[in-house]
Structure 1
């Protein structure tokens, strides 16, 4: 909390109180969540995908090939839903099923990188704008943002897992 120069023990009159900051943080988080969902839905629609399909491609892009069981665990979808999801993505040419390199009985779902080239280009303008925004913050401030987002994401992941039970 900022202090007045005359009396370092007293809060400055214009210093926002914690409750107000938490309220604004909650509002900003809700707005960010809504805009993120709308953005990803629009990106997905341009590629003939639904939001779940697009986020599954994102998961495969970040984590590499996964088994259907891995996808069930990572997405929270039912096994039958994951089978249908993979079938649709394969039919659209975005993924392929390949034999597991060390256990030929298992099958991996692998991203076809050439198929997501257009999808990746869709994010370039947005990524450039985010990079410009990051230039407005110090490295220490960005570390604080990373810490908050990581903690928030983990809590949301746990909440989603509780809902899936």
Structure 2
């Protein structure tokens, strides 16, 4: 009997993992499309918009830091920063302690224009979370944290 229960448990886990992969793919798709739509409202592409998000969360960074965070090649980051600077979203400034280095910082006024696009979405997220317990949300946070690190590693493998 124990062997039959083990097989049922393995089959159930396999089914749940298949569902998780399917839901993850669907979520990834709608996430990319959402960020592409937000970016397009400001004349950006999704990579540019997410780079601005990194800068907003991390503060001023070097191009090398951005290459590591995004998984993009250094030459790609240079082009990305050139485009963002030309559009007025970032500026390059001298590093405060190392004059050989350059930091990329946000133009806060320009970034404020993007915030309005996320306000409705933030309300939707809070509303959706009402149907989950605090412990369930902690599990989601733990899962997303692990998966974010795994995906960052996977991206680095692709670009490295």
TM-score for the superposition, normalised by structure 2 = 0.89
> Which string of whole-angstrom CA distances, capped at 9 and with x for unpartnered residues, describes residues 22-70 of structure 1?
1111111110000000000011011000111111101101100000111
Which residue in the other structure is 2:96 paired with?
A: 101
| Cα distance between partner residues in 1 of 2:154 and 2:43 | 30
Which residue in the other structure is 2:57 paired with?
A: 62
Note the residue ranges of structure 2 that are not aligned, 5 or more in a row.
Answer: 6-10
1:40 equivalent to 2:35? Answer: yes
| Cα distance between partner residues in 2 of 1:154 and 1:147 | 11
Note the residue ranges of structure 1 that are not aligned, 5 or more in a row.
Answer: 1-9, 11-15
> Which string of whole-angstrom CA distances, capped at 9 and with x for unpartnered residues, describes residues 111-164 of structure 1?
111101121110111110000111111111101001111111111111111111
Which residue in the other structure is 1:137 paired with?
A: 132
Aligned length: 151
Which residue in the other structure is 1:5 paired with?
A: none
Counterpart of 1:97 in 2: which secondary structure?
A: strand
Which residue in the other structure is 1:72 paired with?
A: 67
In the TM superposition, residue 78 of structure 1 has moved relative to its aligned partner by 2.1
Report which of the two structures shows the higher radius of gyration computed on alpha carbons. 1
- More helix, by proportion: 2
- The one of the two structures with greater contact order (alpha-carbon pairs below 8 A, sep at least 6) is 2
Which residue in the other structure is 1:4 paired with?
A: none
In the TM superposition, residue 19 of structure 1 has moved relative to its aligned partner by 2.0
